[in-house]
Amino acid sequence: MGRVGIIALCLALIAGNAQAGFLDGNQLYQFCTASDDLSQMQCLGYVEGVADYLNLISAENHRPLCVPVLATGRQVVDVVLNYLRDQPQNRTYDAELLVATALATAWRCSPP
């Protein structure tokens, strides 16, 4: 299966578990801490997708997202995973909000 097929499969599996906010922090934490490749790909795809979207929105608002340019997808996932691990009381919130919070907490922007 090609890369596009794998991504489509991951999105379909995530959507199969979807609720109002797609994933909550508990579900994302389960994906990110699972040992199987499929769950790891779901975690990486979700976190990178949210980060890319945040980057797009912040660029349109002339407020750049402060994730370092050379940060890898794995590093971004590690930041999110550490946040989810250290803030278990917040895992009931929508995953996209938690990803945004984790990234903003780890890499603070200077005021414009």
Task: Report pLDDT digits (tens) over 17-51.
Answer: 444 568 999 999 999 999 999 999 999 999 999 98
Both structure tokens of 98: 């938690």
Which of 33, 55, 51, 52 is closest to 42 using CA atoms? 33
pTM of the predicted model, to two decimals? 0.75
CB within 8 Å of 79: residues ≥ 6 apart = 102, 103, 106, 107
Among 17, 67, 62, which residue's Cα sits nearest to residue 47?
A: 67
CATH architecture classification, 3-106: Orthogonal Bundle (1.10)
Can you give the residue ranges of every domain in the chain?
3-106
Segment 58-107, tens digit of pLDDT: 767 766 667 887 889 999 999 999 999 999 999 999 999 999 999 988 98
